[in-house]
Copies of this chain bind each other. A is one copy, B any other.
Amino acid sequence: MAPTPHPFDSARDYEVRLASKLVKDAYPAEANVHFVQIDRLDPPKKDMIKYLEAEKHGLPLPAIPRVFYAYYWTNTLEFNKALVNVTVGHVITRTKLPKGVCGPLLPDDMMEWEEYCTNHPVVQAEIAKLKLPAGYTVRNDPWIYATDDPNERRPLVQFFMYVLAGNGHTESNHYSLPLKFSPVFECFSKKFIRMDYLPGGFDETTTPTGPWQQVPCVEYHPDLNGESIPREVKPLLITQPDGPSFTVEGGKVKWQGWEFRVSSSSREGFAVYDVSFKGRQVFYRISLSEMTVPYGDPRAPYHRKQAFDLGDCGFGTNGNHLNLGCDCLGTIKYMDGYGIHANGEPYVIPNTICMHEQDNGILYKHVNYRTNNAVVARKREFVVQTIATVANYEYVINLKFVNDGSIDIETRATGILSTMPIDENVKVPWGTIVGPNVMAAYHQHILSFRIDPAVDGHKNTVVFDDTLKLPRSKLNPYGIGFVSDRKYVEKAGYVEQSPFTNRTYKIINENVINPISKTPVGYKIAMPARQMILADDDSFNVKRAKFATQQVWVTKYRDHELFAAGEFTNQSQNDTGLGEWANGTDDVRNEDIVVWATLGFTHIPRVEDFPVMPVETHNIHLVPFNFFDKNPALDIPQSNQAFNKSTLYTGGKEEPACCKTKI
């Protein structure tokens, strides 16, 4: 018998199995219950606060049941959600969701439909028209269908078709050879709905499928990419001879004064909980909440290209199996995730979260020029990393806990651009030609990070500070003065960006005053001002993703309000997340609040992004701001050679000593 998991621990295999069994047992066999996602819910916060208090003081722990949700379809094409108490073993609720609500797609299903599509007679007939050279075949990527018709209520999937070059290699880059037809099927029933044809010119005009014009495939795989002379790179090894500075027990991490819990999540990849530094509470929960990727190519069917990578697919469900020495360097602790099969049986996704510490240069330094005595300390980070592959793209999410009490939320976008066919000698203003007859449309990656603060307690306030010129006066005769101006967020809503007034957002606790600065303790949310979603306000793209219209949102905390665009995003027509919760009426000043930080970047592809894209890195920093009574990193050991054991470079032909020492 396994030990009872901590309420914040990842779902266990036996819990997933029990949840699916209880749900299946509630239906007749002929219902063919078909699961697409099963995971645990967070316990109610009010219960967890008591639990964490008891845990902190070593008191008896209140019993908190483990509750799971299950999304599943029945053979009547109805989509359902059940809540299951796996601690006592009963189904709490079973809800049939309104027609048109689609849950996330299941990887098993996608793989099956992918093959089914290619072999479908209508598609085969189209493929035949291509008259492909010997050895050349066709591969497809199933794509979420998204939305363009309020009356479309069927679960659909759109297949983008590509030529697979005739080199017989499984890793050939089909994204380099996009085709101009794109079938649409109904999910589960696999009914053929429609054949879409893709434009290749400068407008929306399409042409019937004809013989494929052979062009070279731009390959990324080392076996194929034609880089016959590999670049000479010497190993750079990171070792910790005395072991790492961190400990991980179950989901509990301790490192340099930081304490928190890590839990894998089918939808979010992972979440961290109950974060404290030097014994003081800072955050209750942090996770990626949603990401939408709208494309700027206006032509059908591309106008529907708007993925919600968490809600439509699942970041954990599509998490990579990370490998030692491949995805991070140093001493690595791994955690597993899991996926499920349609029958509710879980499978392990090994090592899908990795944790390690790394150096990041100088943290602070001062030299007294009178004595040349230097005080210098190094910045070190503890990284919690996961990587998800969502069809063509990869996303690396790094949560970095820094030894100065700050947290750096880092996103790295890599992988392969989503490509479209383009005819020779055609240019379009919404895309970049990245290879022969292949175009990558401009698009945006707009991520929402959900930050549930607990800055010295749960009653927090969001403020924003602008730095403003001081008018000339007797006090400011030379017109050089400037001051800080603070505003408070009183009601649930958003704060606009204002980079030119140096606007900074802070989460403060008005009930705790810093004894030095005489101001409320807080954490700053530092992120660059960015272009938000570009689509029309009354477009589906915006209606489905209100979170993508503003950079900072504040809502009142409510249990289970976790996902910025709402619980169900696949083919959604409205944002049922921040669109509803940021209601302008909830009081959010000195309340239990949630902050939603939108990190957006408009991606204008460059040729260098193909065939595989060097990371585009974007960050949000959470920085203690008048939280501590001095620099909290004064206790870290000084940086010196006895500790760091660096090596002096002696290679190359050095200059004659005369030039270096004769002065």
B662 touches A13 (CB 8 A): yes
Does A30 sit at the interface, judged by CB under 8 A? no
**Contact present for A608 and B635 (CB under 8 Å):** no
- Cβ A615 vs Cβ B364 within 8 A: yes
* Bound-state Cα–Cα, A196 to B231, Å: 62
Which residue of A245, A364, A380, A536 has the most chain B CB atoms within 10 A of its CB atom?
A: A364
CB distance from A234 to the nearest CB of B (A): 4
Query: Is B631 within 8 A of A373, CB to CB?
Result: no
B624 touches A606 (CB 8 A): yes
Query: What CA separation (Å) do A128 and B241 show in the bound complex?
Result: 56
Within A139-185, the residues touching B (CB, 8 Å) are 148, 170-171
Interface residues on A, range: 35 or more
| Cβ B483 vs Cβ A248 within 8 A | no
List B contacts of A321 (CB < 8 A). Answer: 372
Q: Is A552 an interface residue (CB 8 A)?
A: no
Q: A231-B257, A470-B296, A631-B608 given as contacts; is B371 within 8 A of A171 (CB)?
A: yes
In the complex, what residues of B have CB within 8 A of residue A610's CB? 630-631
Instruction: Report whether A244 and B649 are in contact in the complex, using a CB–CB cutoff of 8 Å.
Output: yes
Query: Per a CB cutoff under 8 Å, which of B348, B499, B623, B649 touches A248?
Result: B649
Contact in complex: B641, A624 (CB < 8 Å): no
Within 8 Å CB of A63, what residues of B? Answer: none
CB of A243 within 8 A of CB of B234, answer yes
Contact yes or no, A171 B434, CB < 8 A: no
* A663 CB contact (under 8 Å) in B348, B374, B640: B348
A639 in contact with B326 given A148-B478, A249-B652, A538-B479 (CB within 8 Å): yes
A375 nearest CB across to chain B (Å) = 6
**Is A606 in contact with B630, judged by CB distance below 8 angstroms?**
no
The answer to whether A111 and B231 have CB atoms under 8 Å apart is no
The residues of B that contact A59 with a CB separation of less than 8 Å are none
CA distance A372 to B329 in the complex (A): 21
Decide if the interface of chain A is mainly helix, strand, loop or mixed. Answer: loop
Is A607 an interface residue when CB atoms closer than 8 A count as contact? yes
Q: Which residues does chain B contribute within 8 Å of A479, judged by CB atoms? A: 535-536, 538-539
A364 contacts B405, C-beta separation under 8 Å: no
Whether B247 contacts A480 by the Cβ 8 Å rule is no
> Known: A329-B644, A604-B504, A653-B249. Contact between A536 and B480, CB under 8 A?
yes
| B-side contacts of A636, CB under 8 Å | 230-231, 233
Surface stretch bound by B, among A32-40, A129-137, A523-531: A523-531
Residue A427, interface by CB 8 Å: yes
Decide: B111 and A435 in contact? CB cutoff 8 A: no
Q: In whole angstroms, how far apart are the Cα atoms of A414 and B647 in the complex?
A: 25
List B contacts of A234 (CB < 8 A).
240, 242-245
3 pairs of A and B residues whose beta carbons are closest in the complex: A325-B641, A298-B481, A479-B536
